[in-house]
Structure 1
Amino acid sequence: MSNCAACNDKLLGNDYMECGRCKEAYHYLCLNFSPEEVTSITEDIRRSWMCPNCLNKQPKGDNSNALVRPSTPTGLAEVTFNVTKRKVQTKPETLSTCKMMDPSDFVTRSDLQLTIREEIRSAMREFAGVMNSTLNAKLSEINETLGELKESVSFLNDQFETIKSKVDINTSMVNKLKIENDSLRSEIGFLAGRVRLMDQMSRSTNLELQCVPERKAENVITIVKQLGNVVNCPLNDCDITYCSRTAKSNPDSSRPRSILVKLSTPRLRDSLLAAVIKYNKKHANDEKLNSSVLGLDDKKVPVYVVENLSAENKHLHAAARLRAKQLSYKYVWVRSGRVYMRKSDTSEAVFVRNVDVLNSLK
């Protein structure tokens, strides 16, 4: 494949013209042919066409083959364009008579390369300007956003420090309150124990007579004095400071109301309790203390004489009896307001201070 005589690039396909004399070939683009001119080229024109160099070498003659650039924008005119008509026979249509070009109109390879470079540089400068403008705008937005973020982070940091300071203060206060709470709990527990002890000590002269049958117009003081006579611990009116039946803890219970007796001294109370225990032991095989021996009823109803316990100690005593039944403990008793348990005759007594002691028993 030959090269173009103008730009020296390779000729590809049919996109070129070949001189009928020197056989040099030229690109349509190098000859400055428009697409309309290319499509109008016939085979006769292609065979008779001569390049500008060959046209310049022709002898001078009539102006039928003068090297003149057409004034029309297409560069390709009719056969008679720019030709002096004679009466002689006209020559065949050739491209040399319809398109004459000046050698200065050709574009050399170096000029083409220079033009391309300039166009590329111009396009790159324009692209760089657009990119710089776009990047500057974006960077400005980013800087503005970063500034706002910095302000937000600074604000959040200040808020965090404030909250952290408050949390530290509150944590310190909570720790102090925990210590105070533990101290107060301990003190409350101690004071509650003292209150329970004082409550029980205030009942140190009290006795309860349980399951004593009720009668209308009864005299409970007479019943208490009769009890003293039966167990061989006589009581006078001055020994009894208070005596009355108490309300039932469970209104639905069928048991009669208990009789609460307040004696003059704790020693007298303990003496009467000891006398009752002695009487029951002495009459263990025949008849223990009951309503019949007290002269209240022919029907024998067991009568129980116990210490008057506080409400909390009553609950503890009931829980101790239930636990003793579960664990097969033989004895449960109360002495001076305290609850005791014993599993057998030979085992040690267990002081039931609270429910935790009952739960620890095995």
Structure 2
Amino acid sequence: MHCVACNKSIDRGELLVCSSCRGVYDYKCLSMTKEYYSKNLSELKRAWACPSCTNIARRKNENTPVRNQFEILSEEADMSCDDLLPNTSGTDSDSRMFQQASIRTSANKQLSLVPETPCSISYERFGELLDFKLESIRVALAADIKKEITAAIENLKDEFTRTTDFLASEQRDIQDKLASVDSTITSLESENIKLRTEMNELKRRLQTLEKALDAVTLKYIPCLREKLKIFLQFSRSCARK
């Protein structure tokens, strides 16, 4: 057989069967002590109901063995160490009851951080200690989470700063290169304008020289031709003689 709560195999000497739904449970999963289980086994076998059936019965305001069982456990848990020890001091029952009531009242009114023995911790006291422990854990977790988040944010800030610095440096380099290129282009444009001016001046001079040469040619070439003709005739006459 397997326990409905933990789904583990149960020894026959440790099981309980619900009188309503016939579900099988291990008494350990029901927060029962072995002493309580052994002492009330016959009653539990006869009328015990599982927590699910007990919750349904509670909504109908019905008393069940499970409710009585947890009430008994609560009463036993509220007992102090003095209640569990045998009465060896010779005091009467009234004195012991008064002492028990005083201890319970003092424990319920004060919340001390000094560790106590398990025997003197009631359900209420256990709840207070559990709440205190959970609050301590919550505060510690919140501090750790805040620390981790702060560290992550700082890392992101550093990385973002390094990235922006790198981009700014690259932008400055590009701007410097663009400025150098602009300066070079301006210089080349000036050189081009200067060369064009010089070329135009040379063209103008060349045209002037060409015109002057044409004028000289038209003026002196006929005269040179006539002199050349006379020289040739003189040379021929000399050759005949």
**TM range, smaller chain:** 0.3 to 0.5
| TM score, norm. by length of structure 1 | 0.29
Higher helix share: 2
Q: Normalized against structure 2, the TM-score is what?
A: 0.40
Name the structure where strand makes up a greater proportion of residues: 1
Q: Which has the larger radius of gyration?
A: 1
